[in-house]
């Protein structure tokens, strides 16, 4: 692997310190959206140079938290709402205070969803569970059923005639209902599909959305080739989907992904990264880079140096893998470069500003230099085979081998909900 040489810019100033970023999650901890937010925050923090705080605002159907963010928190650029499909359903069906038209998307989870149907079912009528995350599937199976109609109004009429939209089911209830044949269609993420659908002899693949690309298009999923929604639509109706309904379907994905590309880690984008600091501090105060990368220190105000030799507070040597020192310069609002340091030797480097009492005021920081050899493995901490040392995900994550016996709902715990689902099915035959 060719070594990536990346310059990171550290800025120094005496202005008001920036606040941490906040992800607002309109549900209690442990939910799917909360878990996803934790994963994203973990990946983004090193590149933002600041913490991401998760703020949970639970409430009925996730509406109160979203309303609160809309009314009081959305005007802060550092407070971001982590939305999900259920919020979209509520927006379309209920009198909520929030409005998606007022927002700008900054990211999207690029996760293909796979829909299944009962084997040999003609899907007339469709009986599908409503609720969180089901909106894109509703678009897709409506178009598959109704064909190339000309307007959204026509599609809505066809939907009302041909679809039974079953409300109020949990994930575990939906899976049991599909297994019993009470629903003839369902959907899952790839991991859940392999766990809950593929072992079901009465189920077969129906369609999937495809893998989203930066230009807004979808590529066929190599794990399920030929079953992308557009492919099935053309096979059935002799033409590609088009019109208002299809444009609305695509807009569920594309705009957010285009903006999400701005959040791809700089090590993948191969571009410089600017870091801000303030109030007698370096920011980020702790960063991790690869051996061979360089860091440029930029002074945005005041008079500062970069001292990696002697601890300005204790007077003891830092004993860094290699000493480094950049002479002090005066900064300005445009930024004055103090200097550039290339870190070739692995290890942890401590440094401070030795001017006056700046170090005592908190102007201290550290840099961790790691091997340029990237360890591959499962990087998602909820997976059974999570590798704490892996920095590149190799697609090996799995969640079935450590699944709890008796966890019918799939929420990671054996609790009352699992018992209720079991009791509801007691005495019934499949």
Write out the residue range of the structural domain in which residue 184 sits. 114-259
Same domain, 185 and 149: yes
Residue 131 within a domain: yes
pLDDT over threshold 70, residue 93: no
Assign residue 1 the CATH number of its domain: 2.60.40.420
Residue 108 within a domain: no
| Domain endpoint, select from 231, 259, 287 | 259
pTM recorded for the entire structure: 0.43
Which pLDDT score, from 0 to 100, does residue 229 have? Answer: 93
Residue 381 within a domain: yes
Phi, psi dihedral angles at 161 (to 5 degrees): -80, -30
Distance from C-alpha of 83 to C-alpha of 104, rounded to nearest angstrom: 12
Same domain, 236 and 281: no
Q: Which residues pair with 203 in a beta bridge?
A: 118
Total of domains in the chain:
4
Residue 58 within a domain: yes
Residue 132 within a domain: yes
Same domain, 241 and 122: yes
Residue 271 within a domain: no
pLDDT digit string (tens) for 267-286?
A: 222 233 333 334 566 767 78
| Domain endpoint, select from 103, 136, 161 | 103
Which pLDDT score, from 0 to 100, does residue 350 have? Answer: 93
Buried b (16+ CB within 10 A) or exposed e, 206-223: bbbbbbbeeeeebeebee
Assign residue 237 the CATH number of its domain: 3.40.190.10
Assign residue 45 the CATH number of its domain: 3.40.190.150
Distance from C-alpha of 15 to C-alpha of 280, rounded to nearest angstrom: 9
Same domain, 89 and 51: yes
Question: In the structure encoding, which two tokens stand for residue 393, read together?
Answer: 């995900």
Distance from C-alpha of 72 to C-alpha of 68, rounded to nearest angstrom: 6
Residue 308 within a domain: yes
Same domain, 138 and 76: no
Q: Which residue has the higher pLDDT, 50 or 131?
A: 50
Which pLDDT score, from 0 to 100, does residue 403 have? Answer: 53
Same domain, 3 and 31: no
CB atoms under 10 Å from CB of 257, counted, come to: 19
Q: Which long-range contacts (CB under 8 A, 24 or more apart) does 188-193 make?
A: 188/113, 188/114, 188/116, 189/111, 189/112, 189/113, 189/114, 190/111, 190/112, 190/114, 190/223, 191/397, 191/398, 191/399, 191/400, 192/410, 193/114, 193/116
| Domain endpoint, select from 103, 133, 160 | 103
Same domain, 123 and 253: yes
Same domain, 285 and 343: yes
Same domain, 253 and 123: yes
Q: What kind and span of H or E run contains 137?
A: helix 135-146
pLDDT over threshold 90, residue 100: no
Same domain, 38 and 139: no
pLDDT digit string (tens) for 315-360?
A: 999 999 999 988 888 777 666 777 778 888 899 999 998 888 888 8
pLDDT band for position 313 (cuts 50, 70, 90): very high
Q: Which residue has the higher pLDDT, 380 or 358?
A: 358
First to last CA, the chain: 53
Lowest mean pLDDT among 72-81, 249-258, 281-290: 249-258
pLDDT digit string (tens) for 157-187?
A: 888 888 888 887 877 888 999 999 999 999 8
Same domain, 193 and 99: no
Distance from C-alpha of 226 to C-alpha of 208, rounded to nearest angstrom: 9
Which pLDDT score, from 0 to 100, does residue 124 have? Answer: 84
Residue 298 within a domain: yes
185-188 β-sheet, strand order: 185-188, 114-118, 203-208
Same domain, 330 and 380: yes
Which pLDDT score, from 0 to 100, does residue 169 have? Answer: 81
């Amino acid at each position: 692997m060719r070594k990536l040489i990346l310059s990171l810019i550290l800025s120094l100033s005496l202005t008001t310190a920036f606040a941490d970023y906040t992800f607002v999650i309109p549900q209690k901890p442990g939910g799917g959206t909360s878990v996803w937010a934790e994963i994203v925050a973990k990946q983004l923090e090193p590149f933002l140079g600041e913490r991401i705080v998760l703020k949970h605002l639970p409430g009925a159907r996730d509406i109160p938290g979203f309303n609160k963010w809309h009314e009081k928190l959305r005007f802060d650029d550092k407070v971001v709402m982590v939305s999900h499909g259920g919020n979209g359903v509520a927006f379309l069906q209920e009198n909520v205070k929030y409005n998606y038209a007022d927002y700008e998307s900054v990211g999207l989870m690029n996760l293909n969803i796979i829909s299944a149907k009962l084997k040999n079912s003609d899907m007339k009528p469709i009986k599908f569970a409503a609720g969180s995350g089901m909106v894109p599937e509703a678009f897709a199976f409506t178009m598959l059923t109704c064909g190339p109609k000309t307007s959204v109004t026509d599609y809505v009429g066809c939907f009302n005639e041909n679809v039974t939209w079953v409300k109020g089911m949990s994930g575990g209830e939906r899976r049991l209902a599909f297994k019993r044949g009470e629903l003839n269609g369902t959907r899952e993420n790839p991991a859940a599909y392999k766990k809950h659908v593929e072992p079901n002899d009465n189920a077969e693949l129906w369609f999937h959305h495809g893998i989203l690309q930066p230009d807004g298009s979808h590529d066929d999923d190599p794990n399920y080739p030929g079953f992308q929604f557009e492919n099935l639509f053309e096979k059935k109706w002799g033409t590609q989907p088009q019109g208002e309904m299809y444009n609305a379907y695509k807009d569920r994905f594309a705009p957010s992904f285009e903006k999400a590309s701005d959040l791809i880690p700089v090590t993948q984008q191969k571009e410089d990264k600017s870091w801000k600091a303030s109030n007698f501090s370096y920011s980020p105060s702790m960063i991790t880079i690869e051996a061979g990368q360089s860091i440029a220190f930029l002074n945005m105000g005041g008079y500062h140096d970069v001292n990696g030799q002697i601890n300005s507070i204790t007077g003891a040597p830092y004993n860094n893998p290699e000493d480094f020192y950049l002479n002090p310069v005066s900064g300005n609002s445009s930024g004055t470069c103090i200097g550039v340091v290339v870190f070739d030797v692995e290890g942890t480097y401590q440094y401070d500003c030795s001017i006056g009492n700046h170090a005592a005021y908190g102007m201290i920081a550290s840099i961790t230099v790691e091997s340029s050899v990237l360890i591959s493995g499962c990087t998602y901490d909820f997976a059974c085979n999570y590798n704490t040392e892996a920095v590149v995900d190799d697609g090996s994550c799995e969640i079935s081998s450590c699944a709890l016996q008796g966890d019918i709902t799939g929420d990671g715990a054996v609790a009352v909900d699992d018992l209720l689902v079991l009791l509801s099915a007691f005495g019934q035959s499949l």
